[in-house]
Structure 1
Amino acid sequence: MVFFCFLVDQRRKVRSTKPAAGICSRCGGGAKVADMETATRFCYVPVHRRAWRAIICTFCGAVLKSYHHLSSFRH
């Protein structure tokens, strides 16, 4: 009997933030623009990393809008 176990996880990290105009449509909290990084790991080995920009709620943390890949992202 062969048993395969594949462990894949994805971590999202906020790199930097700036205040933004607007409010959250879910909870009514304020909004901020954040440079985000998503790292996908397979069996604890990083296989894909993506940088992107999003508008997130300062109260509930919901992603209100996301943008494409950042071209000037520093690791």
Structure 2
Amino acid sequence: MAKKPENLTFEESLCELERIVSELEQGDVSLDDALKQFERGIKLVRNSQGKLEQAQQKVAILMADDESAPLTPFSPEAE
């Protein structure tokens, strides 16, 4: 049984999307199966977009010029 889209990593979702597109492009899939694969692909895309948006938000937070969080020099001995 296939994992739910929300349980897949971004990379796993991309691999499955590539497989789905390849199978649909070949045209050897019945209409019912094609619709199921299309629906699965849409779920994968939406989940992947959500993961990308979360990553963009994290990067934006990390890159923000926040005066209340001053940078300190890295000291490997402190670890």
Which structure has more relative contact order (CA 8 Å, sep 6+)? It is 2
Structure 1-normalised TM-score? 0.19
Structure 2-normalised TM-score? 0.18
Larger strand percent? 1
Please say which structure displays the higher CA radius of gyration.
Answer: 2
Larger helix percent? 2
